[in-house]
Chains A and B, each alone.
Chain A
């Protein structure tokens, strides 16, 4: 099946149709074909030609609401002390479901995190680890690392998100700022193959040391199940016909 339009174009098209005007940017991370997600599987539902973009919540403009604006102001004031500006460090800000996300450029991650931790008005003492997300169709931004932060002092939470391309899967380690991320970064390396530069000992933590591949990636091959009938095989879960 040929892709009629790129995911981004499809997303913009749909959004324009829905809202009546073209939004500035949209967070399109992929595209879905058909209603059952399987290609070449004899899908007779008639939905095979359906193309729908996968659109994540896009950037939010000011005001963000609540304390989110204060936090952003404090950050904009404090970041220059470390030699960077808010515009340098932050790609976009998203507010979704009452949760604040800063998407930070990876080269400024460590300084950004140190500011969040040390600035008295921010004081995010706790980092709740790092989780990876793999969007194979989001070209140039395939791998996302997501850091939830908690400030016990101010009783606030926010999230920092960093992206990196698959062919240069490197993100600076923040173990020097939050030592708790030692194991968390090892886990994300183990499952997604993101290399955290500067980590004291970046080795696999859950999988055996000699395991090939990174299992949580969407392109990690899943095994099918052989069936004792004319050499048939139950396909792997990601190739089966399924509702999507």
Chain B
């Protein structure tokens, strides 16, 4: 800090405003300057007779190993954690409230930003719910469902890769981080190629998907898969039998089946207790019943088991993506009903992606009615019959549920997301109380919370 404008300030000039000796302030020519000086150990009262000293440490919200703006409030006895609590809300953005003032289609743009590592799951959960309310679930074209499955499974891989990468980073395995983010980039390239955006793509829409994928793109995805498979083997080879990795994760973050049930925990944490619960198998959506894959389980109930499950799920997802590519048949990717289907078409031109010239020509020069229809559907949107539904899908982190309420209007009356990160984060106390501080990091990493989804 420059001291030019602080002329002749001595300790006596410092004014203790509001009686706070730790944040004195004094006036300068450019305004009041506060100096936060920190605590004075002498002024801390000694613990009462017979009471042990309690040390409470705030870990976060700005801490590299807490997975985003998660604040852990730890009560310590030496290196041992005696109590652990979570402070959340630092990333609350009011997405659910905002959606109530936008049309149903615009809602996709909001939900995709909730859990930012699994945007396609957020979008699909929302669209399945809206379609259920509309009563058009059976009319969604098969190609659209297949593309949804393909994008979701690629997204599951990229999300699990981040879980491995950041989990590795937090435990000091920086190579795992570099590998994880490098492989994720391959998948984000696919997302960009298909939807135009790496993240937050708003690609899945009520009624189908925003645009078709081309044969070139299918070929590109097919080319990427062997490379992904090879590199993922490198990553898992790096960690699976790694003595240091196992030393940090085996037996850490223990949560058994009863704990999972009571705390509503789903996803890899639940499957690490040996229960093969996966909504893709038990309550299939988007045609998951037609794909062959195995639900990954472990019986160790610990962080290492969850890591193995994620590695296994990546392999299964690669197999599902291949099956989805094989199942792709030419056809529409948006519902037939012109009162719901988004009228705009996109095409790839020499200068990138943009409006389809054919569609612009039709509405601007050929059909007045098409123009009116386009305008009404884009500005007003469609109305959804009154009622409420709960649509749940298996996201990389567990059950992602969308509770959607309509009062018959063209905007959602209420949308609530049951985000798995939010629920699973409640398990931090059960997993880490009584363990070392270093194990808290491993336990939180094995939960894999995404704060965008927790706070919404």
Contacts and interface: CB of A to CB of B under 8 A. Distances in A.
B238 interface: no
Interface residues of A, number: 47
Given A99-B390, A159-B390, A244 B410 contact: yes
Nearest to A237: B101
A85 interface: no
B264 A56 contact: no
Interface string B413-456: 11010100011011000000000000000000000000000011
Contacts of B399: 128, 150
Nearest to B103: A243
B92 interface: yes
Determine the main DSSP class of B at the interface with A.
mixed
Interface centre among A56, A178, A181, A237, by most B CB within 10 Å?
A: A56
A68 interface: no
A30 B416 CA distance: 20
B89 A152 contact: no
Interface string B369-383: 000000000011100
A152 B262 contact: no
Interface in B392-410: 392, 399, 401, 403, 405, 407-410
B388 interface: yes
Contacts of B266: 126
Nearest to A177: B262
A54 B414 CA distance: 14
A155 B279 CA distance: 10
B418 A129 contact: yes
A200 B135 CA distance: 41
A129 B407 contact: no
B275 interface: yes
A244 B263 contact: no
A148 B456 CA distance: 19
A101 B387 CA distance: 11
B426 A148 contact: no
Contact of A54 (B96, B282, B386, B392): B386
Interface string A201-244: 00011111000000110000000000000000000011000111
Given A148-B390, A178-B262, A207-B92, A243 B407 contact: no
A183 B426 contact: yes
A180 B456 CA distance: 18
B304 to A, nearest CB: 24
Interface of B: 88-89, 92, 94, 96-97, 101, 132-133, 135, 261-266, 275, 277, 282-283, 379-381, 386-390, 392, 399, 401, 403, 405, 407-411, 413-414, 416, 418, 422-423, 425-426, 455-456
